[in-house]
Chains A and B, each alone.
Chain A
Amino acid sequence: MTTVLTLIVLAPLAGFMLNGLIGARLGNRFVGVVGCGLPLAAFALTLVSFRALETGGAPLIETFYTWARIGPRVFDVEFYFDRLSAVMTLIVTGVGTLIHVYSLGYMKEDKGYARYFAYLNLFLFFMLLLVLGRSLLVLFVGWEGVGLASYLLIGFWFEDPEKARAGKKAFVVNRIGDAGFLLGMFLLFWALGTLDMDRINAAFNGAALPAVSASLVGILLFIGATGKSAQIPLHVWLPDAMAGPTPVSALIHAATMVTAGVYLVARMSGIYLHAEVASQVVTTIGLVTAFFAATIAVVQTDIKKVLAYSTVSQLGFMFVALGVGAYGVAIFHVTTHAFFKACLFLGAGSVIHALGGEQDIRKMGGLARRIPVTFVTFVVATAAIAGIPPLAGFFSKDEILWFAFASSRGGAPLLWLVATLTALLTSFYMFRLVWRTFLGASRMDEKTAHHVHESPWSMGGVLVVLAMLSAIGGFIAVPHYLEALLPAPPVEQALHHLETPLLVLSVVVAFAGLAAAAFLYGGTAARAARMEARFAGLHRILTHKYYIDEIYERCLGGPLVWISEHVFLRTGDRLLLDGTLNGMAGLAQRVAGGLSRLQSGSLHRYAFLVLAGAVACLAWSLSHV
């Protein structure tokens, strides 16, 4: 038995411990070496495991220890490494390490350097637990743990109450999803007596279906996924989560953590294959999210918010793929998305770094010549996400569109249409971002403009690597690699002849978006301003994100506090309970006060009362003789 998988998981934990406990005392160099070295070690170990997996063929399974035994039930902490985990682990450790390296430069000036790397390592630890865990329980531990790391990193600059609030919001919204996840897990445990995901899949793929509704389980687990992967209606936390440091946004809120929901559904594909209703729900939610998030992204003015909504939208794409049964394709898109979105976020980070903290694209422009490395890598990644061939996004997105159209597990022309429209919007808002940020005339103030500088090599180098991956990532045939594990859904024969026309169409759509952005935002962007004035109402709705935050606050947050305060606290506790209690105490006091008046202190009266009492007793006893 080997311990490689355990080591992969524990390496970042060791980094967390070292940096968290003694990092601040040993200086930034030590923190950097530990903070980046251990994730790198994890990546190396992952490669070792990957080789072992490819030579051996069978999934690697390692038992770490037994968490609990209750009666006949055993909860083991086990790690499971098959091709799906392999892809995810490679992304997590690979992209993760790159972002750690990037952070070396980005966070250099920050006082909480050690703390930052400690949290980042902690995140990696939980993320690896999530993708390597064999049982849903271990996955759940990682699932909540990444939420914690995200909470800590969003609120990293804790002086700012806005940021602390964003962290809290992320945590609580995720918890809502987790409640659904827990219920799904309980239901599976009741039906199958195990939480090991391979066993659950085997049970559902076996001859006799378990005595539990696959759709119900599927929907419950999907609620968890909507929380973590920011799908409607639980998407509200992700844009606010941009309050964290930018590398964090790249790592957690773009490349890895938010794809956990996609991983979960793909991992539990055994259930979803038998859950038609659940799959339809997944598709619908994914599609709606993809579209609406894309529309919001079109008008955002914060560079990170645009990317955040773009992430939400892309995750929606992945769920569409999952819903129509193309699990491998979804993971493919996870992979390419990790490359280009990490590159975009880190590029945005580089821009923000260069401008001394400015995030508003209305105050940028003309940066292309000032920070050329950032510009070039950003454009490559943008082209990738827009779906321009032969970059990474083109391949994965095109496959999603194809299966949305043709999959016999729920593909439909309408799905394809909305998804393609979303792709058009994606291309448009991404190129809009490029134009507003890098091209045209500078809209910076003098002071900022003076300070603009290209980022150090540790940041630029990472950008280049990621841009290269965004460019060639599409040639990594992830769906093919996963075919044995997650076979592609059957496609209706009659539709095969449409594959090439659709492909051409999707390329046209990508360029149309580019053209539209160039048309509207080229030059002085006067056309865009006119459009904005003309559709002021729509613009306002989009800027306010369809007022969903406000609606939640009005319909959920407000009433909860109101009920707690007025019904439970004031009426329940104070009025009813304490009121009754104090009332009873008051009554007793008043009665006693009345009786105490008899206690006059006059001996004669007492004696007289004794006499009266004696006479009364006598009279009573006489009358009853």
Chain B
Amino acid sequence: MSEATLLNLVLFLPVLGIALVVALPAGRDGAVRWATFWVMMVQLALTTLLYCRFDAAVPGLQFETRLPWIEAWGVYYQIGLDGYNLLLVLLTTFLGPLVVAGAFTAISKDVKLFYAMVLLIQFAMLGTFVAQDLFVFYLFWEMMMIPMFLIIGIWGGERRIYATLKFVLYTAFGSILMLAAVIYLVYSLRASTGITSFAFADLLGTPLPMSVQLWLLAAFGLSFAIKVPLVPLHTWLPDAHVEAPTAGSVILAGVLLKMGTYGFMKLGFPLFPDATRALTPALMTLAVIAIVYGACLALVQNDIKKIIAYSSISHLGYVMLGLVSLDLLGIQGAIIQMVSHGLTAAGLFLMVGMIYERCHTRELAAYGGLAKVLPVYSVFFMILTLASIGLPTTSGFTGEFLVLLGTFTSAWPQYVDGAPWPLAMAVTAVTGVVLGALYMLRFAQHFLFGAERVPHGPVADLGLREKLILFPIVVAIFALGLFPDAPMRKTELAAQHYQALVLAPRAPGSTP
């Protein structure tokens, strides 16, 4: 089997999985669970194979498929792996089985529909990542919304309708803008070159005047910024997280949020480089606001899911900061930080789900002294907390350190040249590490230490299934913290590609 077919198989396995799940007779919930789980496992195995075969020395797409789809519009079904999406695809398939296994006991209503939706969202997310044609990208992008809408709306908590509507309205609003921008972009391409194409590779060369770039970046950017989410477009996230079932939160924090930053990296910034460079100080400011604002809000939350939700906002601020630093260190850091956040936030949400199944409350004040009652749980929780803080030897450190280093090394020369603002932002971002420690340790302190308070106790420590869910995450966190070089080899060319694209002038008449 050729490798391109392998990638297609990875992409469409969830669809096969949906067919399988639907075909199973009603009432066989156990079979549905295991079927979904094994589909995800096979997918993970195949992706791992692809990851190993991915050649770090080859620039551009690998395992590419390009088939004509709607030829009159120049739409091709084009997918492939490159340094941009490789790690995120791996992350998505890595979290897949864990999400499924994590929901084994939590979901007992409409099991079939639930797992079908999980598979569908897996399909949509992978499709968004591997798509290399804007039309295909947009389709998958929109497709993600529906299963998430249902997952929150059907299996969510008390205020699930409010939360899911907010999520959909925000997302849909962004999508409409993006759609308009996509159409305009394709028309501009045809106007300037005569070819009608949605392929990323073609669009990335479209010459656009500065003013148009600004408008289009605003449209694309708004759509992506809602997904990241950047302050002040973030208020859907805490609500969605709080109301979503564990699996929903894990998918949301683990992968879905990265759609925003991935979108910026793959499309938003490289498509409109002149506008991006002009707006760099503003974008940096937004990123730093997200870092500080998210951290401050995480500090005063009493709902444990909200703490993690706001911490996500803060962590993704670092990703944005790395991307707009336009320094190789920062860009690589941003890629690692995306994966790292996917691991830690997913792990934390899984752990919150586990405690919620036992104690039925998410209120921080209701807990205390879990370290004594649930020692194994506490060890895992502590490791994830520390990774979230960005302690050295964990993945969080690799990401944050490189992002901050890259931001600083690009901001300092600007300061020397008389532009102090980026430096001020870089320094503020560094102080973000203090806030990060503050809110996560407050969380851990109330949760694990102090007087023993266990609602609906006594409760049992983690079972084998739960340990097996958390263990791979912890291993991955340390692997990425201690040996980040191997994955970064594979993303280096993409990072350089991104840097070169954004640094090169694109507006007509400008000299390269």
Do any beta carbons of A and B sit within 8 angstroms of each other in the complex? yes
- List chain A positions with a Cβ less than 8 A from chain B: 65-71, 73, 137, 140-141, 144-145, 148, 151, 155, 158-161, 163-165, 167-168, 171-172, 175-176, 178-179, 182-183, 186-187, 189-190, 560-561, 563-565, 568-569, 572-573, 576-578, 581
Residue numbers in B under 8 Å from A576 (CB-CB): 232
Residue numbers in B under 8 Å from A168 (CB-CB): 441-442, 445
Knowing A159-B372, A182-B404, A183-B430, say if A67 contacts B293 (CB, 8 Å): no
Residue numbers in A under 8 Å from B371 (CB-CB): 158
Q: Is the beta-carbon distance between B392 and A564 smaller than 8 angstroms?
A: no
Residue numbers in A under 8 Å from B300 (CB-CB): 561, 564-565, 568-569
Give which listed residue, B401, B430, B434, contacts A172 with CB less than 8 A.
B434
A44 to B17, CA, bound (A): 59
The 3 nearest A-B residue pairs measured at CB: A164-B449, A161-B450, A564-B296
A220 to B259, CA, bound (A): 37
Knowing A69-B488, A168-B445, A561-B299, say if A159 contacts B409 (CB, 8 Å): no
Knowing A564-B297, A564-B299, A578-B235, say if A161 contacts B434 (CB, 8 Å): no
Q: How far is the CB of B34 from chain A (nearest CB, A)?
A: 30
B46 interfacial by beta-carbon distance below 8 Å: no
A573 to B332, CA, bound (A): 32
Residue numbers in B under 8 Å from A73 (CB-CB): 328-329
B431 interfacial by beta-carbon distance below 8 Å: yes
Q: Is the beta-carbon distance between A568 and B297 smaller than 8 angstroms?
A: yes
A467 to B482, CA, bound (A): 40
A68 to B492, CA, bound (A): 11
Q: Is the beta-carbon distance between B449 and A158 smaller than 8 angstroms?
A: yes
Q: How far is the CB of A70 from chain B (nearest CB, A)?
A: 5
Q: How far is the CB of A431 from chain B (nearest CB, A)?
A: 38
Residue numbers in A under 8 Å from B393 (CB-CB): 141, 145
Q: Is the beta-carbon distance between B438 and A172 smaller than 8 angstroms?
A: yes
Q: Is the beta-carbon distance between A190 and B450 smaller than 8 angstroms?
A: no
Q: How far is the CB of B290 from chain A (nearest CB, A)?
A: 12
A140 to B400, CA, bound (A): 14
Residue numbers in A under 8 Å from B442 (CB-CB): 168
B87 interfacial by beta-carbon distance below 8 Å: no
Chain A proximity mask over B372-412: 1 for CB below 8 Å, otherwise 0: 10000000000000100001110001100110110011001
A172 to B445, CA, bound (A): 12
What would be 11 A-B contacts, judged by CB atoms less than 8 Å apart? Answer: A68-B402, A68-B485, A69-B485, A69-B488, A158-B448, A159-B449, A183-B430, A186-B408, A190-B408, A561-B300, A573-B235
Residue numbers in A under 8 Å from B419 (CB-CB): none
B497 interfacial by beta-carbon distance below 8 Å: no
Residue numbers in A under 8 Å from B431 (CB-CB): 179
A70 to B325, CA, bound (A): 15
Q: Is the beta-carbon distance between A176 and B328 smaller than 8 angstroms?
A: no
Q: How far is the CB of A372 from chain B (nearest CB, A)?
A: 38
B451 interfacial by beta-carbon distance below 8 Å: yes
A71 to B332, CA, bound (A): 10
A578 to B451, CA, bound (A): 36
A161 to B398, CA, bound (A): 32
Residue numbers in B under 8 Å from A186 (CB-CB): 404-405, 408-409, 412, 430
Q: Is the beta-carbon distance between B409 and A70 smaller than 8 angstroms?
A: no
Q: Is the beta-carbon distance between A175 and B433 smaller than 8 angstroms?
A: yes
Chain A proximity mask over B78-100: 1 for CB below 8 Å, otherwise 0: 00000000000000000000000
Q: Which residue of A lies closest to B370 (CB)?
A: A158
A176 to B488, CA, bound (A): 29
Knowing A148-B391, A161-B449, say if A577 contacts B232 (CB, 8 Å): yes
Q: How far is the CB of A535 from chain B (nearest CB, A)?
A: 38
A577 to B299, CA, bound (A): 19
Q: A186-B404, A568-B297 are in contact. List 20 more A-B contacts (CB 8 A).
A: A68-B332, A68-B398, A69-B488, A141-B397, A145-B392, A158-B369, A158-B448, A160-B450, A161-B445, A163-B449, A175-B437, A182-B401, A182-B430, A186-B408, A186-B409, A186-B412, A190-B413, A564-B296, A576-B232, A577-B232
Residue numbers in A under 8 Å from B297 (CB-CB): 564, 568-569, 573
Q: Is the beta-carbon distance between B437 and A172 smaller than 8 angstroms?
A: yes
A581 to B165, CA, bound (A): 12
Residue numbers in A under 8 Å from B280 (CB-CB): none
Q: How far is the CB of A571 from chain B (nearest CB, A)?
A: 12
Q: Is the beta-carbon distance between A68 and B484 smaller than 8 angstroms?
A: yes
Q: Is the beta-carbon distance between B412 and A187 smaller than 8 angstroms?
A: yes
Q: How far is the CB of B490 from chain A (nearest CB, A)?
A: 12
Q: Is the beta-carbon distance between B409 and A189 smaller than 8 angstroms?
A: yes
B188 interfacial by beta-carbon distance below 8 Å: no
A533 to B310, CA, bound (A): 52
Residue numbers in A under 8 Å from B448 (CB-CB): 158, 164
Q: Is the beta-carbon distance between B293 and A568 smaller than 8 angstroms?
A: yes
Q: Which residue of A lies closest to B416 (CB)?
A: A211
Q: How far is the CB of A592 from chain B (nearest CB, A)?
A: 15
Knowing A568-B293, A578-B235, say if A159 contacts B430 (CB, 8 Å): no
Q: Is the beta-carbon distance between B412 and A190 smaller than 8 angstroms?
A: yes
Q: Which residue of A lies closest to B442 (CB)?
A: A168
Q: Is the beta-carbon distance between B449 and A70 smaller than 8 angstroms?
A: no
Residue numbers in A under 8 Å from B492 (CB-CB): 70-71
A293 to B130, CA, bound (A): 61
Q: How far is the CB of B18 from chain A (nearest CB, A)?
A: 33
Residue numbers in A under 8 Å from B409 (CB-CB): 186, 189-190
Q: Is the beta-carbon distance between A70 and B296 smaller than 8 angstroms?
A: no
B461 interfacial by beta-carbon distance below 8 Å: no
B427 interfacial by beta-carbon distance below 8 Å: yes
Residue numbers in A under 8 Å from B496 (CB-CB): 71
Q: Is the beta-carbon distance between A70 and B332 smaller than 8 angstroms?
A: yes
Residue numbers in B under 8 Å from A176 (CB-CB): 434
Residue numbers in B under 8 Å from A572 (CB-CB): 232, 293
A140 to B392, CA, bound (A): 8
Residue numbers in B under 8 Å from A564 (CB-CB): 296-297, 299-300
Residue numbers in B under 8 Å from A577 (CB-CB): 232, 235
Residue numbers in B under 8 Å from A164 (CB-CB): 445, 448-450
Q: Is the beta-carbon distance between A155 and B449 smaller than 8 angstroms?
A: yes
Q: How far is the CB of A110 from chain B (nearest CB, A)?
A: 13
Residue numbers in A under 8 Å from B299 (CB-CB): 560-561, 564
Give which listed residue, B328, B413, B445, B450, contacts A70 with CB less than 8 A.
B328
Residue numbers in B under 8 Å from A568 (CB-CB): 293, 296-297, 300
Q: How far is the CB of B234 from chain A (nearest CB, A)?
A: 8
A68 to B450, CA, bound (A): 39
Q: Which residue of A lies closest to B413 (CB)?
A: A190
A573 to B229, CA, bound (A): 14
B166 interfacial by beta-carbon distance below 8 Å: yes
Residue numbers in A under 8 Å from B3 (CB-CB): none
Q: Is the beta-carbon distance between A560 and B405 smaller than 8 angstroms?
A: no
Residue numbers in A under 8 Å from B413 (CB-CB): 190
Residue numbers in A under 8 Å from B29 (CB-CB): none
A572 to B412, CA, bound (A): 32
B466 interfacial by beta-carbon distance below 8 Å: no
Q: How far is the CB of A446 from chain B (nearest CB, A)?
A: 31
Q: How far is the CB of B285 from chain A (nearest CB, A)?
A: 16
B142 interfacial by beta-carbon distance below 8 Å: no
Knowing A179-B434, A187-B412, A189-B409, say if A560 contacts B369 (CB, 8 Å): no
B64 interfacial by beta-carbon distance below 8 Å: no
Interface residues of B in 476-505 (CB under 8 A from A): 482-485, 488-489, 492, 496
Knowing A73-B329, A581-B166, say if A179 contacts B433 (CB, 8 Å): yes
A158 to B371, CA, bound (A): 7
Give which listed residue, B235, B430, B482, contacts A581 with CB less than 8 A.
B235
Identify the interface centre among B297, B300, B433, B451: most chain A CB within 10 Å of its CB.
B300
Identify the interface centre among A68, A168, A172: most chain B CB within 10 Å of its CB.
A68
Q: Which residue of A lies closest to B382 (CB)?
A: A152
Q: Is the beta-carbon distance between A161 and B235 smaller than 8 angstroms?
A: no
A560 to B439, CA, bound (A): 11
